[in-house]
Chain A
Amino acid sequence: MPGLDAISRGLMFDSLKQYAKRRIPYDLLRELDRKNEFPADILKEMYDTDILGIHLLLIPSEYGGLGGNTFDITRVCEALAHIDLGIATSVFATFLGSDPIRVGGTEEQKRHWMGRIAKEALLVAYGATEPDAGSDLVALTTRATHVVKNGKIVGYRITGNKQWISNGGVADVITILAAAPGGPSWFLVEKTAEGFSANHHEDKYGIRLSNTAGLALDDVYVPADHLIGGVEGQGLLQAQAVFGYTRLMVAAFGLGAGWEALETAIRYSQQRIQAGGPLSKKQGYMLKLIVPNAVKLEAARAYIEETAHRLDGDEHGLQTEGAIAKLSATEAGNKTAEDAIQALGGYGYTKDFPVEKIKRDVKITCIYEGTSEIMEMTIQRGRWQEHLKSRGQYYEGQAAEMDRLQAECPSVGAGSAALALRALNQVLEQVRLQRLTRHQHVSMRLGELIAQAETAAAFARAAAQPHYSESVRFDAEAWQAMSRVYAREAALDLCLKGTKLILGAGPLPEGFVQALGLDAALAAQAGSLEDQDLIARKLTEVFKSR
């Protein structure tokens, strides 16, 4: 999908930032957070096409939208997360809620419903999760039964409960997943439908202004044309089909919220004078609390953008990649917000500064749209199949690509990324030989290691480009140093954590450590401190104190 051009994207985000500066200052966000209140008027303005019309970016141009592609949407998600994750979540919920229509709807349904969302600025919610069915949607208990007239199905009656529905209490239209006689299916339910009700706004840890509510459907009638796609039993396939990019959007939330916290900390570090100088000049502070987080966030950015461009090309699904992006970015965002509190010391622990709120908010990104643990399982499952199918060549191929990149562009850490990928290959092979995937813990830790090695490779590829993405705020010197730091750490982590996993479950065969490349991974650590010092300096240049 072509999507928008860089200038238009930049102008739209400027408008969004200016709107936020004027209408959503921190004092208001803090107040809404305290009162646990959904800002209906703000959302209304953001959807007002004379003011912002942000929802139009999510709608294809043939249905009255602006036809943003995956890259545009990840960018706007990052920009929204910089402002407030609760507001971002509410916008995202409309997108997610309309997804079943976009993916599975008939042409007529798309025209009707997407057209209405564009024109009437409808808030939409996505009603899949139930009290006893989260990631395991097969356990669905909401039922849809046929209403038959003259031998023809004219409608459905839906009964059941939904849980943790973003926008649940405020949405105009909700897409509801229910078990129909032909199997799980999506239905469109309007909030005015008889028998439909929303429970209270949940009292959450973070994203408190985002409306999250349980839904009750008591014999709710919908006409037959409200069955998405017009055929029963397609619901789970339709839900699965979009995970690649919906998880990319949540990954971008982790990125945006993480950077917002980190920028606050970097600017603060230049103002706070301790023992004769600003904190930003103190190596111990910068290299512990600031630099590692910048590196992880930028690595995640490289992975997110690579996946977005692949989806905008002609690749489909990319569910494993979506999971890697989400795991890397949201865990990085969460850790960054945690460290930002530490970086601000006592101030960070108060509500006068935004970082404690960001920390509470960003935690949700590690939970919704599939928890980090579900991501680890998804990643391991996807790549395990590749490893088996290719007879151990999957990661060897990627490592060889990194060898070539190292020869062409020696400054991006591709050599270390190759070490990480080869170590991963050795670990996977040993796991196969000893049949260690029977231990769930081993499988899930593998998921994490896979994400780390692949992210290192994606970062090296991105850092070797002659022109960086518009979203990168650093020069080549800084970004390449970040890529080197990430790859070095990945190489050593893969060796050490991989060995630990195998040793914990079974014997370590002779020669394994040598085959793993531990010596090379250790040697690759040379120069790490110098790189981190450079990054620290660059960060304070880009994010100056105000």
Chain B
Amino acid sequence: MRTVVCVKQVPDTTEVKVDPQTGTLIRAGVPSILNPYDHFAVEWALKLKARHGGEVTVLTMGPPQAKAVLQLALALGCDRAMLLSDRAFAGSDTWATSYALARAVKKIGKFDLILCGQQAIDGDTAQVGPGVAQSLHIPQITFCDSIEVEGRKAKVQRHIDDGYEIVEAKLPVLCTMSLPHAHPLPWPSFPKVAQARSKVLEVWTAADIGAEPEKIGLKGSPTQVHKVYPPPLRAKGTVFTGSASEMASKLLDILRQENFIKP
């Protein structure tokens, strides 16, 4: 089975704060990490490789320092890595990024499965995975918890607001992976990190993947960001006071008013 995993290097947002005045991120001293959803996607690609054999290629677009996340994926067991790095990609929005990644996937060659994280923790758009599927004209399944492959079919558990559903699709398919709460992601041992240095890591430019110049970078990006600001805080909840029976009857009143229970 041939799998391509699309990943992104992101600032560790647990360490990022938003400047309340300007609404911009304070990035001083913030380390970069492999987007945790993508990390989970890498874990799944390797799990499927262990079951079914084949090859896992990891792909990212970013500046030269994004090599670090590819090295991590290689150390975890991916077979080869591609970095799309070119000034021409600078300023790409999710549309242009999806296009560039799809071009790179085509250049990589035949594939059965593409895995992405459901979203990146810096932008939180959840658009790039679906965008890649669209560009490649293949089916997509988003917010997946687990994948089983039988023959030429993938059986996927995807989570929905009030539970989960099982979906089947023919290969090739693109799945975006969600990350179960408190799931311990795998980390490579020291010798695995060292061994990864001898694996293939290619750097491709826009020309290498045959990207049309007007479809990448700022030119190829229909989205314009006008303002970045933290969402307003939710209104505070109501706090009841009084004795237990007083508070219970107040709660009952509200539940009746809102039609949660019959009067």
Show the binding face of A for B, using Cβ within 8 Å: 4-5, 7-8, 10-12, 14-15, 18-19, 22, 48-54, 56-57, 66, 473-475, 538, 541-544, 546
User: A22 to B194, alpha carbons, bound, how many Å?
Assistant: 23
Provide 23 A-B residue pairs closer than 8 Å at the C-beta atoms, listed in order of the A residue: A4-B194, A5-B197, A7-B68, A8-B193, A8-B196, A8-B197, A14-B72, A15-B187, A15-B188, A15-B190, A18-B187, A19-B187, A49-B190, A50-B189, A52-B190, A66-B191, A473-B29, A474-B29, A538-B28, A541-B26, A541-B28, A544-B15, A544-B26
Taking CB atoms, residues of chain A closer than 8 Å to B191 are 49, 53, 56, 66
Chain B residues with CB under 8 Å of A53's CB are 189-191
CB distance from B144 to the nearest CB of A (A): 24
B75 / chain A contacts, CB cutoff of 8 Å: 11
* Residue interface bits B193-208, CB-to-A below 8 A is 1, else 0: 1101100000000000
Determine the chain B residues whose CB is within 8 A of the CB of A542 once the complex forms.
Answer: 28-29
Report the Cα distance A135→B67, complex, angstroms: 47
Q: Which of B169-195 contact A (CB under 8 A)?
A: 184-185, 187-191, 193-194
B3 at the binding interface (Cβ < 8 Å): no
Q: In the assembled complex, which residues on chain B have CB atoms less than 8 Å from the CB atom of A5? A: 197
Complex CA distance for A53 and B28, rounded to whole angstroms = 32
A-B contact count (CB 8 A): 63
Expressed in whole angstroms, the Cα–Cα distance for A49 and B189 within the complex equals 6
- Name the contact of B194 in the complex, choosing from A14, A48, A66, A544 (C-beta under 8 A): A66
A11→B189 contact, CB < 8 A: no
* Size class of the B contact interface (CB-based, 8 Å): 20 to 34
Partner of A475 from B28, B71, B196 at Cβ < 8 Å: B28
Can you name 7 extra interface pairs (CB under 8 A) apart from A8-B193, A12-B193, A543-B29?
A: A14-B33, A18-B187, A50-B189, A53-B189, A53-B190, A56-B191, A542-B29
Residue among B26, B28, B185, B191 having the largest count of chain A Cβ atoms under 10 Å: B191
- With an 8 A cutoff between CB atoms, is B52 at the interface? no
User: Are the C-beta atoms of A7 and B187 separated by less than 8 Å?
Assistant: no
Nearest B-chain residue to A14, judged by Cβ: B187
Chain B residue at minimal CB-CB distance from A52: B189
9 nearest A-B pairs in the assembled complex, by CB-CB distance: A542-B29, A15-B187, A473-B29, A53-B190, A18-B187, A541-B28, A11-B193, A53-B189, A7-B68
Q: From B75, which residue of chain A is reached at the shortest CB distance?
A: A11
Q: Who on chain B is nearest to A68 by CB? A: B190
| CB-CB under 8 A for A15 and B189, given A4-B194, A544-B15 | yes
Partner of A10, one of B68, B185, B194, B197: B68
C-alpha gap A544/B27 in the complex (Å): 11
Residues from 11 to 64 in B contacting A, C-beta threshold 8 Å? 14-15, 17, 26, 28-29, 33
Q: Chain A contacts of B185 at CB under 8 A?
A: 18
State which of B28, B184, B187, B190 has its C-beta within 8 Å of the C-beta of A57.
B190
**CB-defined contacts of B190 to chain A, threshold 8 Å:** 12, 15, 49, 52-54, 56-57, 66
**B7 CB to nearest A CB, Å:** 14
A445 CB to closest chain B CB (Å) equals 37
Given the contacts A49-B189, A57-B190, A544-B15, A11 and B68 also touching, CB distance less than 8 Å: yes
List the A side residues contacting B29 at CB < 8 Å: 473-474, 541-543
Contact A22 B184 (CB under 8 A): yes
Please state if A8 and B71 are interface contacts (CB–CB under 8 Å). Answer: yes
Q: Which of A7, A52, A473 has the most CB of B within 10 A?
A: A7
Chain B neighbourhood of A66, CB < 8 A: 190-191, 194
Inter-chain CA distance A49–B193, complex, in Å, is 11
Expressed in whole angstroms, the Cα–Cα distance for A185 and B101 within the complex equals: 63
**CB nearest to A5 among chain B residues:** B197
Q: Are A7 and B189 in contact (CB under 8 A)?
A: no
Q: Which chain A residues border B15 with CB–CB below 8 Å? A: 544
CB contact under 8 A between A11 and B72, given known A49-B191, A52-B190: yes
> How far, in Å, is B219 (CB) from chain A's closest CB?
32
Q: Which residues of A contact B184 (CB under 8 A)?
A: 22
Nearest neighbor of A48 in chain B, beta-carbon distance? B189
Name the A residues within 8 Å of B193 (CB-CB).
8, 11-12, 15
Provide the residues of chain A in CB contact with B196, threshold 8 Å: 8
How far, in angstroms, from A208 to B77 measured CA to CA in the complex?
38
**Minimal beta-carbon separation of A10 from chain B (angstroms):** 6
Whether A7 contacts B71 by the Cβ 8 Å rule is yes
A22 CA to B193 CA, complexed, in Å? 19
Instruction: Report how far A439 CA is from B67 CA in the complex, Å.
Output: 58
The chain B residue with its CB closest to the CB of A118 is: B191
Closest to B74 in A: A11
Q: How many whole Å from A31's CB to the nearest CB in chain B?
A: 21
Would A11 and B188 count as touching, CB distance under 8 A? Answer: yes
Contacts of B14 in A (CB 8 A): 546
In chain A, what residue has the closest Cβ to B29? A542
Chain B hits for A475, CB < 8 A: 28
B254 to chain A, nearest CB (A): 34
A48 neighbours in B (Cβ, 8 Å): 189
Cα of A541 to Cα of B25 in the assembled complex, Å: 11
* A64 nearest CB neighbor, chain B only: B191
Inside 8 A of A18's CB, which chain B residues have their CB? Answer: 185, 187
A57 to B33, CA, bound (A): 23
Name which residue of chain A comes closest to B68, CB basis: A7
Q: Mark B126-150, 1 if CB is under 8 A from A, else 0.
A: 0000000000000000000000000
- Chain B residues with Cβ below 8 Å from A10 are 68
In angstroms, how far is the closest chain A Cβ from the Cβ of B197? 6
CB of A467 to closest CB in B, whole Å: 13
Closest to A475 in B: B28
Query: Considering the chains assembled together, what is the distance between the CA atoms of A52 and B75 in angstroms?
Result: 12
Q: Nearest residue in A to B189 (C-beta to C-beta)?
A: A53
A51–B196 CA distance with the chains assembled, in angstroms: 16
B57–chain A nearest beta-carbon distance, Å: 19
Residues on B with C-beta less than 8 A from A52 are: 189-190
Closest Cβ–Cβ distance, residue B45 to chain A (whole Å):
18
State A50–B186 Cα separation when bound (angstroms). Answer: 11
Q: Per-residue CB proximity of B59-88 to A under 8 Å, as 1/0?
A: 000000001100110010000000000000
